[in-house]
Amino acid sequence: MDIIWSVISPAQLDAFVKFCINVLIIILKIVVVLAVGLLHVAYATYFERKVIGHMQVRLGPMRVGPHGLLQPFADGIKLFFKEDIIPAKADKTLFYLAPVIFMASAMVNLSVIPYSQNFIIADLNVGLLFIFAMAGVGVYGIFISGWASNSKYAFIGGLRSSAQVISYEIAMGLSLVGVMMMAGSLNLSDIVRAQQESVFGIYAIPQIVAFIVFTISATAEVNRTPFDLPEAESELVAGYFTEYSSFRFALFFLGEYIAMFIMASLCAVCFLGGWSLPWYITKYVPFINYVPGVVWYLVKVYAFIFFYYWIRATVPRYRYDQLMAVGWKILIPLALANILVTGLVKILV
C-alpha cells in the first residue's frame, strides 16, 4: 500500500475512482443506447412492414414467430450469411469505406439525443449543430458508395442523393433556427427545458411553419417517400447501394433507419417537448407525472416514425426537378420568412 501512497495522494485516488466510475457509466450508457438503437432498427423494419401491410389490406410478416415477431432476426441472420459481392471494377477501398462512413455518421448522433432528463451520453452545447454536421458527413458515404460501385445506376443515385440531402439540409437547418432563437441555445436538453417553460409547452405551436418545413425536409433528408428518388426502385433499381449485398447492404439499411430515428428524435426534442409534457396537461392530469420521461419521448418519436410509414403508403414519388423546386422555391423561403417573423416577435414582445 505504501508504494501506492508514495505515487499518488488519497485525493488523487479519489478523483481517479470518480473518473473511472464516470467512464463506466458512460460506457454503460453507450451500451444501452447501442443495444436499444440496434433493436429499434430491427423492430422499426418489422413495425414498418406491419403498418404498411395493414394499410394495404394484407398482413405483413406472419411466418417467423408469432405474428412474425422474429422476422427481423431472420432477416439479420440471412443478411449476415449472404455472399458479399464486390463488383470487379469497383474501387475496393472506397467501396468498403462507404457503408461504414454512412452508418457511423448516423449512429454517432445517438450520443447527443436527450432520451430523458438525465439520460444523455454527451450533453453537447452544440448538439443541434453536431447532428447537422454528421448528416453532412453521411452524404460522403452516399456519394462515395455511388462512385465506388462503378455502376451508372449507383452513380445517378449517389448524385441525386447528395444533391437532395444538401439542399434539404438547408431548409431543415433554417427551420430549426426559429427554435434556436426561441430557446436561445443549441444544446438539445436546454431546448427541451426552454419548451417546458414556454407558454405553449411545445414549440410546434408557435413554430408551426418551421414544424411543417422540418417535417417535410426531414422526410427528404432520410430519403423516404415521397422523396425517395435516390433509391427509386422503378428508375434506379436501388440507387446508390445497387451494387451492395450482404452485410454491407445491411449497414446502409441500418444507417438509414437510425437516421430516421434521429430525425424523429430531433422533431420530438425540438418541437414536441422531448421527454416532457406541456404544463397544461400535467397540471390537470397530475398523476401523469409518475410516467418516466423516456416514455413520452418514445411515444413522440414513434408517432413521428409512424407518420413516415403512413406517408409511404399513401403518396407517389416526386420527380427530381419537382423535388428541387419544392426544396428551394417553397421550403427555404418559408423557413427564412419564419426566421424573420420569429425575430420580429422576439424584438417586439
Partner 1 sequence: MSGKGEMEPVGKIFETRELNVNMGPQHPATHGVLRLVLDIDGETIVKVTPYVGYLHRGIEKLGESMSYFQALPLTDRMDYVSAMSNNIGYCVAVEKLYGIEVPERAKFIRTIAGEMSRIANHLLWLATHALDIGAMTVFLYCFREREWILDLYEMICGARLTVTYPRVGGVRNDVQQEFLESLWKFTDEFPSRILEYETLIDQNRIWLLRTKGIGVISAEEAVNWGMTGPTLRGSGVPYDIRKFMPYDAYDKVDFEVPIGTVGDTYDRYRCRMLEMRQSNNIIRQCIEKLPAGPVMADAPKFTMQPKDKMMPITHPTKQHAFFIKEKACKGCGMCLRACPAKAIFGEKKKPHAIKQDMCLGCATCYVTCKFKALVIVPAGKGLSDEKLAELAEAPVPEEITKASEYLVRQFEFVKKGPKVPEGEIYVATEVPKGELGFYFVSDGSAKPYRMRVRAPSFVHAGCLPRLCAGHLVADVIANIGTIDIVLGECDR
Query: Where do contacts with partner 1 occur on this chain (CB under 8 A)?
Result: 52, 55-58, 152-153, 156, 160, 225-226, 228-229, 232-235, 237, 312-322
Q: How far is the CB of 159 from partner 1 (least distance, A)?
A: 9
State how far the Cα of 243 lies from the Cα of 241, in Å rounded to an integer. Answer: 5
DSSP assigned state of 214: H
Give SS3 for 292: coil
Question: Taking the complex as a whole, how short is the minimal distance between the CB of residue 227 and partner 1, in angstroms?
Answer: 10
Cβ proximity to partner 1, 155 vs 271, nearer residue:
155
CB of 303: closest distance to partner 1 in angstroms? 21
> By C-beta, is 55 or 124 nearer to partner 1?
55
Residue 56 CB, nearest distance to partner 1 (Å)?
4
Q: Least distance to partner 1 from the beta carbon of 284, Å?
A: 38
Q: Which is nearer to partner 1, 283 or 319 (CB)?
A: 319
Q: What single-letter DSSP state applies at residue 68?
A: G
Alpha-carbon distances of 78 from 112, 231, 245, 270, rounded to whole Å: 32, 22, 11, 38
Nearest to 182 by CA among 213, 203, 196, 157: 203
CA angle 196, 199, 203 (to 5 degrees): 65
Nearer to partner 1, 12 or 314 (CB): 314
H helices within the chain, ranges in order? 2-7, 10-55, 71-81, 92-107, 127-148, 152-183, 188-197, 208-221, 233-236, 246-270, 279-284, 293-314, 320-325, 332-348
Could you tell me the smallest distance in angstroms from the CB atom of residue 237 to partner 1? 6
What's the residue count for the chain? 349
101 contacts 140 by C-beta, under 8 angstroms? yes
Fill in the DSSP letter of residue 136: H
Residue with smaller CB distance to partner 1, 226 or 255: 226
Query: Which is closer to partner 1, CB of 62 or CB of 313?
Result: 313
